[in-house]
Chain A
Amino acid sequence: MTNAVSMQGVRKTFGPKVAVEGIDLDIPLGSIYGFIGPNGAGKTTTIRMIMSILFPDRGELSVLGKHSAIESKDQIGYLPEERGIYKKMKVGSFLKHIGRLKGLDSHGLNATVMQWLERVELTEVYKKKCEELSKGMQQKVQFIASVLHDPDLIILDEPFSGLDPVNMRLLRGLIDELHTSGKTVIFSTHVMFQAEQLCDHIVMIHQGKKVLDDTIDDIRTRFDPRAIHIAPTAGLGIADEIGQVDGVAHVSVVEGALEVILREGMDPQTAMGKLLAAHPMNRIEIKKPTLEDVFIEIVTGGERGADAEQLRADLLAGENADSEEAAS
C-alpha cells in the first residue's frame, strides 16, 4: 500500500447535476495534498466520497488500502466543511464522546483531550458548553475532534474558514506538524494562497473535473507566466517604448506597474538585462505564478479577457468574504 487514497473514474451526480465527473487521483501515503477550486467545484463531494459518506455512482475508490473508508474509519480524521457540534454539550464531554465513537479507549482519554486543548490554547473551555464558544474556538474544538484519535489519514474540508490570522497560523503549524510526523493530510480550500503555503501537491477541481494534479514546484515551472513587472523611472507613460525592446511580446499596466510579457523562447534573465539597459528602473522583478493565475489560465485556456477577469474577481471575492469572516 503506497497510496492513502486512490480514485479511478469516480463520478457522482445529484439528480440532473453532475457534481464530480470522472476523477482519477492517487494520493501517496505521507503526502500533504491541497484540493483547490472555487465554491461549488466539487471539492466537498469528492471528500465526502473518500469518507464514504456519499457513494460514487461510478468508478473505483480505495482508502488506506480498503475499498471503503467505512472499513478504516477509525484511522481517518475528518473535519467537515459544515461545522457541527452538540450545542448543549460541554466541550470536554463532546470531545470524549467523539473519541469514544472513534474507537478510543476511555482510559487516558481525558488526558489526551486536555493535551490537545493545550496545544490549541483552549484549556479554559473544557467545562464550557459548546454553544458558549466563539466561532473560531468551535472551529478549533472541531479540529481536535478530527485528530484526537491519532489518525493516519486526515481530511480537512475548508479548515481555515472563520479563523483569524493568528489562529490560521496556529492551525497551519499543527497541520504541518501532523504532516512532518508522517501523516497523510488532505485539505480543501477555495483560498489558494493557503494551499500554496502548506501543500506539496495541488489538485485543482473545476466544475467537477480535475484540471490540475501536480506538485507546487512543477506547477510554478509549467505555468511560468513569462512575465516581468517593472516600474520605469520615467513612469508608466513609456509603455510603448518598452514594447520596442527585443524579446517583449506585450506590455500592459497592472497594479501601478508595467507587466511585460516575453516572447516564446526568451530567457527572463536576458530580457531583464535588456530592459535595464534600455531604461532606468525603480523596480524590476520576475512575476511568480500564483495558483490563482494558474487556475485562471487553465480554466480560460490561457486567454486573457473579460472571462478571466470575471473569474479572478470571483476568486478574490471568495477570499475577501473569508477574511471579513475572520475579522468579525
Chain B
Amino acid sequence: MNVSKVLRVAAREFASTAITKGFIIGALVLPAVMVLVIMVVVMVTMRSQPPADAGTIYVLDRSGEVSDVAIDRLSPEQVEQRWIATAEGIKDAAKGLIGGLVGEKANDAIDNAAQMIRYPKFRVIPTAADADIEELKAELREQVATTADSDADIETLIAIVEIDADATRKVNDEEGYGVYQAYFRPKLNEETINEIEDSVRWSIRELRYQNANIDRDTVIELSSVRARKSKEITEQGERNESSGLTNFAIPFASLMLLLMACMTGGQYLLTTTVEEKSSRVVEVLLSAVSPLELMTGKIVGQMGVGLSLLTIYNGVGIAGLVFFNRNDLVTPVTFLYIFVFFLLAYFMFASLMAAVGSAVNDLREAQSLMTPVMMMMILPYIFFMPVIRAPNSLFSTITSFVPPISPFIMIMRVSSNDPPPTWQVMAAIVLNAIAVVLFLWFAAKVFRVGLLMFGKPPNLRTLFKWIRMA
C-alpha cells in the first residue's frame, strides 16, 4: 500500500467534507443556533406568563369565624409576602438541584427567574351569614356574562366561598368537621384558584387548632423531620450522593458524542462513495490507486471528520464543566476512552458504510442495505436505561463485549458512576480491535468488487458471493 497516495485520498476526503459551508453550518453553527433558540424560547415563555388575576371574593361564612381569618390571609400584603417566600424556597431548591450539577453560575439565572413571579390580588367581602347561595351564584353568573376577561379588575366578582357552620367546630364526633365549597369564574389562573383554596383551608385549619387548643408551631415542629445530606462511601473515601442528573447526564452525553461522531463520519463516507461511484470518478481513481488504498484513504479521511467533531464537542463539554466548576464529574481517562472507543466504533461502522456505498448505484438503493446497520446503531439508545441503572449487571457486561455495539455500551459504563474494572475495558478494546480487522477485511472485499458493478443493487446474499469472489 502506498501511504502517500492513501493520505492524498484522505486529505481530499476530509477537505471535501469538512471544509464546506454545509458542514461548518451543520456541525458548528446549528448546535449554537439551537442553544440560542432554546434560551430565547425559555425567556419568551417566562415573559409571556398570563397576567396575574385580580378580583373580588365573596365569603359566605356560616361558621362566623373563618371569614375574618381568611380576609387577613388573602389580603394583598399577606399574599405578596407568601409568594416572595415561596419563590425564595423554589430558588434554593433549584440551586440545590441544578447548581449541584452546573455550579454557582446557574444561581444568577435562577435569581433572575425568581424576580419574574406574579401573584394575584384579592378583595375579600364577607356576606351576611344567612345570605342565599343561589343569589350569590346568580350574581357571579351575571358578572361572567357582562364583564369580559380583559375588563376584569379588582371590583369583578371571581369567586364565592361557602363555609359550613361546623367547619371549624365539630357538632359531634360521628359526623366530624363540616366542609367548604368554592365557586369560580371560568378561565382563572391555576395559581389564583390554588391561592384562594389554600388560604381558606389554612384559615379553617388555624381555627380548628385554636378551638382544639393545639399550638400550631408545635404541630409543625413535630411533623418535620430533617436530615443531613446523604453521602456515598467509596473506596477512595466519601462523596456526596450523586444526583440523578449527574448519573444520567455524563454517560448519556458520552454515548451521544460517540454516536454522533460515528454517524457523521460514516454517513459522509457512504455519500461520497456513492457519489464517486455514480459519477464514475471511481474508475479514474482506480487507475491511480488500488481499491484498498482508496477505501483506506476514504475511511481515514472521514475519521478525521469524526475526530474533529468529537474534539470540538468534547472541548465545548470540558469548557462547560470548567465554567461551572464541575470538572470533577469527568476524569481525563474518560475523555481518552471516548477517543479510543470512537476509533473502534467508527472503523466498524465505516467499514459497513464503505461496503454499502460501493455496492449500490445511488443513495436510494442504499436505504435497504442501511436498515440493518441503522437498527444496530439504535441498540445503544435502547440499552441506555438498563445499562445506566446497573452498569455492572450481567446484561451490561455482556452487551459491552458484543461488537459492534460494544464501544457504545462500554463508554456508558466507563462514564457512569460505577465504572467497570480496568481489565474489562482493556479486554473490550482488544476484542473490538479484532472485530475492526474483520470488518475492514469484509469491507475491502465488497468494496473491490462493488465499485465497478453497476446495475441491479445487490442483496445480502450477493454481497457474500462477492466476498467469496474477491
- A residues adjacent to B (C-beta < 8 A): 48, 51, 53-54, 70, 73-74, 76-78, 80, 82-89, 97-98, 100-103, 142, 145-146
Contact = CB atoms under 8 A, between A and B. Distances in A.
B281 A73 contact: no
Given A78-B284, A86-B281, 14 more contacts: A48-B452, A51-B287, A53-B283, A73-B287, A74-B288, A82-B280, A82-B283, A84-B280, A84-B285, A85-B284, A86-B16, A98-B288, A101-B288, A145-B284
A148 to B, nearest CB: 10
Contact of B283 (A84, A87, A103): A84
Interface string B274-312: 011001111111111110000000000000000000000
26 contacts: A48-B452, A51-B286, A51-B287, A53-B283, A73-B289, A76-B287, A77-B287, A78-B283, A78-B284, A82-B280, A84-B276, A84-B280, A84-B282, A84-B284, A85-B284, A86-B279, A86-B281, A87-B279, A89-B16, A97-B12, A98-B284, A101-B285, A101-B288, A101-B289, A103-B5, A142-B284
B279 A80 contact: no
Contacts of B286: 51, 53
A70 B287 CA distance: 8
Contact of B279 (A84, A97, A100): A84
Nearest to A53: B286
B284 A88 contact: no
B287 A80 contact: yes
B290 A84 contact: no
A98 to B, nearest CB: 7
B8 interface: yes
A102 B289 CA distance: 8
Interface string B67-100: 0000000000000000000000000000000000
A83 B280 CA distance: 6
Nearest to A76: B287
Interface residues of B, number: 20
A77 B287 CA distance: 8
B269 interface: no
In the complex, which of the residues A77, A78, A80, A102 has the most CB atoms of chain B within 10 Å of its own CB atom? A80
B429 interface: no
Interface string B1-35: 00001001100100010000000000000000000
Contacts of A98: 284, 288
A77 B283 CA distance: 12
A112 to B, nearest CB: 16
B102 to A, nearest CB: 42
A173 B290 CA distance: 32
Contacts of B5: 101, 103
Interface string B30-50: 000000000000000000000
A80 B284 CA distance: 7
A48 B452 CA distance: 10
Chain B binding surface, main DSSP class: helix
A88 B452 CA distance: 22
Contacts of A76: 287
Nearest to B449: A54
B8 A97 contact: yes
A101 B279 contact: no
Contacts of B282: 84
Nearest to B12: A97
A222 B416 CA distance: 85
Contact of B8 (A77, A83, A84, A101): A101
A292 to B, nearest CB: 29
Closest 8 pairs (CB-CB, A-B): A84-B280, A84-B281, A82-B280, A78-B287, A80-B283, A101-B288, A84-B284, A102-B288
Nearest to B282: A84
A77 B288 CA distance: 9
A237 B286 CA distance: 61
Contacts of B452: 48, 53-54
Among A48, A51, A74, A86, max chain B CB count under 10 A is at: A86
A53 B287 contact: yes
Given A54-B452, A89-B16, A101-B9, A73 B280 contact: no
A88 B288 contact: no
A56 to B, nearest CB: 14
A102 to B, nearest CB: 5
Contacts of B284: 78, 80, 84-85, 98, 142, 145-146
Contacts of B8: 97, 100-101
Contacts of B275: 87
A237 B12 CA distance: 71
A88 B283 contact: no
B292 to A, nearest CB: 10
Contacts of B279: 84-87
B367 to A, nearest CB: 22
A89 B16 CA distance: 8
Interface string B436-461: 00000000000000001000000000
Contacts of A74: 288
A201 to B, nearest CB: 23
A73 B288 contact: yes
B449 to A, nearest CB: 10
Nearest to A80: B283
